[in-house]
């Protein structure tokens, strides 16, 4: 009985305000299709602008109704708990409250990347097809723009091997590519241009991008905001707590902190 070599499956779809790309070895086309469906389901839960989303229901609910919503939706409960932890540890420099309403967009994209990886691993099932054994493991990556996670079903909390990524840094007029060897399975990038924060440039005039490595994409996503806005000691405290690595780059793509 022979064992087939894992084939590369690459798929991309518009989700989460960007193009989400899934690359896997060992997965079937159907498994990847269903993973995108799971991404779509979670995206609807946390959509700040959709009045039918769980997040909007929470924002419009009474205190008693909010408790019921939290209890009824385990993904919402899990993300809210993580968001609260990051907010407290960061001293409020990560802040999911916008105009008095909960907005999880600063962490939800990374969280959904994590859940897509968990879903792929949980639903991967090697099968015996016509006397040929399918691959016994699945590995690859889920990339949602500035939030990227590598994974392997043999080591769910780690990438299959150390990875090198090319970061697009600099400005819109002058993009610069920088190689980064990852020490964690997840990396997220963020720029203050996303926040339209002139105050940021008065405080950190040389920092144009934050890059954070972490063991989960949600943490990496949230900590990019802490890296951009928080004092260095506060950022270091958060990185120590979450076993993360944060870097700041200037407009030329050079490391500044």
pLDDT digits (tens, 9 = 90+) for 98-131: 999 999 999 999 999 999 999 999 998 765 444 4
Q: How far apart are CA 30 and CA 50, in angstroms?
A: 28
What is the phi/psi pair of residue 142, to 5°? -125, 125
Per-residue model confidence (pLDDT) at position 160: 52
Q: Would you state the pLDDT for residue 154?
A: 82
Look at residue 77 in the predicted model and tell me its pLDDT: 97
pLDDT the model gives residue 177:
80
The domain locations on the chain are 162-257
Q: For residue 196, give both structure tokens.
A: 């339209």
What pLDDT does residue 103 have?
97
pLDDT confidence of residue 143? 96
Please give the pLDDT value at position 243. Answer: 96
Q: What is the DSSP letter of 5?
A: P
Residues 180, 181, 184: CA angle, nearest 5 degrees: 115
| pLDDT score, position 170 | 65
- Give the angle subtended at the CA of 224 by the CAs of 223 and 225, to the nearest 5°: 85
Place of tokens 């926040």: 195
In this structure, the strands spanning 245-249 and 209-214 are antiparallel
Q: What pLDDT does 208 receive?
A: 76
Q: Which of 163, 162, 135 is nearest to 2 (CA)?
A: 135
What's the CA gap between 158 and 105, in Å, rounded?
Answer: 25
190 vs 220: CA distance, rounded Å: 10
Q: Quick one: how many helices (H) and strands (E) in the chain?
A: 8, 14
pLDDT at residue 156 in the model: 60
Using a cut of 0.85, tell me whether the model's pTM lies above it. yes
Task: Report, as ranges of residue numbers, the positions in the chain whose pLDDT lies below 50.
Answer: 1-2, 128-132, 194-202, 204-206
């Amino acid at each position: 009985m022979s064992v087939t070599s894992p084939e590369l499956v690459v798929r991309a779809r518009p989700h989460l305000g960007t193009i989400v790309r899934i690359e896997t070895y060992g997965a079937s086309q159907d498994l990847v299709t269903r993973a995108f469906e799971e991404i779509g389901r979670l995206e609807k839960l946390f959509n700040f602008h959709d009045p039918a989303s769980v997040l909007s229901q929470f924002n419009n609910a009474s205190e008693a109704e909010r408790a019921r919503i939290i209890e009824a939706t385990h993904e919402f409960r899990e993300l809210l708990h993580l968001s609260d932890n990051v907010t407290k540890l960061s001293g409020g420099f990560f802040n999911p409250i916008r105009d008095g309403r909960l907005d999880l967009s600063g962490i939800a994209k990374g969280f959904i990347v994590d859940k897509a990886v968990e879903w792929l691993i949980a639903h991967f099932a090697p099968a015996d097809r016509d006397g040929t054994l399918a691959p016994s493991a699945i590995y690859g990556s889920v990339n949602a723009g500035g939030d990227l996670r590598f994974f392997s079903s043999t080591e769910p909390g780690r990438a299959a091997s150390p990875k090198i990524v090319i970061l697009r840094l600099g400005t819109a007029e002058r993009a610069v590519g920088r190689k980064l060897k990852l020490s964690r399975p997840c990396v997220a990038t963020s720029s203050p241009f996303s926040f339209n924060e002139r105050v940021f440039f008065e405080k950190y005039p040389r920092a144009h991008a934050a890059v954070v490595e972490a063991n989960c994409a949600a943490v990496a996503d949230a900590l990019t905001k802490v890296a951009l806005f928080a004092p260095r000691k506060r950022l270091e405290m958060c990185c120590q707590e979450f076993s993360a690595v944060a870097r700041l780059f200037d407009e030329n793509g050079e490391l500044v902190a």
